[in-house]
Amino acid sequence: MSLSADETRRYARHLVLKDIGGAGQQKLKAARVAVIGAGGLGSPVIAYLAAAGVGTIGVVDDDHVSVSNLQRQIVHRTEDVGAGKAANAGRFVAAINPHVTVVPHVARLAAGNARRLLEGYELVIDGTDNFDTRRLVAEAAEDLVVPLISGAVSMWDGQVTVFLPGGRRFADLYPVTPDAADVPSCEAVGVLGAVTGVIGTLMAMEAIKLITGAGDLLAGRLMLYDGRAARFTELEF
């Protein structure tokens, strides 16, 4: 898949970057990535994948923009309050990179539609904020034999990992479904907006590496971020 003259200028810093270059940029252009959620984590993921030139980004979200989202969901603006998040993410992408196609899926991912929503994508990125949905996304990605990048945030903390087909599974990381009291929602306990930027950007980084084949992935490893202590730690599972 060749690059146009405008794309060559746009991605100049990638084209001279070791391990990306022209071949890597063409892989990004050909990629089809599904992002579940256009909220706190999905926003930086969508922004950086679009800027990087990922050719097709599917955005799955049935929610609408509210004022309380704007503290962290950077693809949405004050004037977008009330707009559907999936379509509004497409507006954001069109403004920064006309070479990227956004496919909005205005739906809440559930057991009955997960496979249909994710079919045709070669990579799934989960930015949802509740455990049950994250489990459904993981099961669908495993069933479709596609990689999954999963992130989560709460208060000052976040985490990110990568699940590859045939490798460590979501069920290996969470063999027992945690009690709801142990995974409170951001609405209940809050979240520092910049934490979603840290974790979302790491998720985008893993996606770009996976698509281009550059670097080592966080597969089988869980990266933890403590924003208050300014510390990263890593666990194997």
Please give the structure tokens belonging to residue 22.
């022209």
CA atoms within 13 A on the CB side of 97: 24
24 as an active site residue: the answer is: no
- Given a contact cutoff of 8 angstroms between Cβ atoms, the answer to whether 140 and 146 are in contact is no
Catalytic entry in 93, 186, 195, 198: 186
Whose structure tokens read 């990638």? 14
Alpha-carbon span 65 to 126, nearest angstrom: 19
For residue 138, the one-letter residue type is A
229 to 23, 142, 157, 225, 226: CA distances (angstroms) = 39, 35, 10, 9, 6
Query: Which one-letter DSSP state was computed for residue 83?
Result: S
3-state DSSP helix/strand/coil % of the chain, to nearest 5: 45, 20, 35
Which is nearest to 38 in space by CA: 102, 123, 118?
A: 102
Please give the structure tokens belonging to residue 88.
């509004």
Which positions are annotated as active-site residues? Answer: 186
